[in-house]
Structure 1
Amino acid sequence: MAIYVVMEPPLGSARSATERAVLVRDGFSLLAFLVPPLWLLWHRLWIEAALTFAIALALTALAEVAGFGVTGSLLSFLVSLYVGLEGSALRLAALRRRGWREWGVVEGRNMGEAEIRYLTEAEPAEVEKAVLPFADTSRQQPPATPARQQGPALGLFHYPGKA
């Protein structure tokens, strides 16, 4: 089962937050490993994509000009491996920078199952948050105080109650 991190948008009502939430799969991304700059651009990680592209160009130039063919290829492989392993963390960091808040983590066999689990877990809490600000608390009675226990405390001594 895969683990998904649920990120909710910064502003809006509770209903729109659950509808616009983004689920980010935690784990290795094969597509991010194969084509790192394109994967980063697809997920709107502009700075990370530009850095990855610049590093790829620099490593290609190093391999061609300086004669470090194997070393340049190995370093390029390591950059791709890094993006494949840490791509989801880069997405989460970008969402946090944009003001999105982390709701929690859900588990599912696929994205659809994870979305269903998120919606079933998020709905009652979101409805409570939406209802509480509008509740009329002026007519509510304070909770009743528990009755004072008569008899010995802890079975050894009798502590006199205040009258």
Structure 2
Amino acid sequence: MPVYTVHAPLTAGADLRSTDRFIFVRDGFHFWAAVLGVIWLAWHRLWLALIGWIIVVAAVDALLLWIGVGRGTVFVADVLLAILLGFEASSLERWSFSRGNWQQLDIVVGDDRDAAERRFFERWAARRGAPAYDNHTVDRGAPPPTRDNGGHPPPMPHYSIIGLFPEPGGGR
């Protein structure tokens, strides 16, 4: 199942009026970013990533040609760089949002984008209805389990324990 990260603009305050500005970024391989890297980066307005991509590809090609490798090797290097861009396209999108005035609200899993949106908004609405809601906290689940000894200290170790420090405060 695809994993999506949910981003919201900081200026909107992440309230009900700004939900139409939330962006869901799918994690995983982006085929069109690998096949048409420059066009994909421009389409998604990732301008710094586009400039960096052009510089990296030109530098790698120039370096390989300067070393004297064949054009087939340069082509293989370009294909490998394109595959790398396909894998890292969503990371570049998230990086671009983090540079701007955007915050990551949540990570959600769904069969498709619609299912992920439904799941996110159900959880988001439930959290907003909870008392003392804070926009900047993320629900990480229940607190870690604790040992309930009824207020008594932990039992002393038995003499049959084998180890470096068999009793608290013992010699080393």
Q: Same fold (TM over 0.5)?
A: yes
Superposition pairs of residues 6-155 of structure 1, within 5 angstroms = 6-13=6-13, 14-58=15-59, 68-127=70-129
Contact 2:46-2:93 within 8 A present in 1 as well:
yes
Unmatched 5+ stretches in structure 1: 133-152, 155-163
Flag as ranges the 4+ runs of structure 1 deviating above 6 A: 62-65, 129-132
Which 10-residue stretch deviates more, 96-105 or 9-18?
9-18
Q: State the TM-score, normalized to the length of structure 2.
A: 0.66
The structure whose Rg is larger is 1
* Cα distance in 2 for residues equivalent to 1:67 and 1:22: 43
Unmatched 5+ stretches in structure 2: 135-150, 153-172
TM-superposed CA distance for 1:53, in Å, is 2.5
One-letter code aligned to 2:47: W
Root-mean-square deviation over aligned CA pairs: 2.8
Contact 1:18-1:119 within 8 A present in 2 as well:
no
* Cα distance in 1 for residues equivalent to 2:76 and 2:122: 46
Deviations 1:73-118 (A, max 9, x none): 1111121011100110111011011021111111111111111111
- The aligned counterpart of 1:143 is none
Tell me how many residue pairs correspond in the alignment.
134
Percent identical pairs in the alignment equals 27
Contact 1:63-1:70 within 8 A present in 2 as well:
no
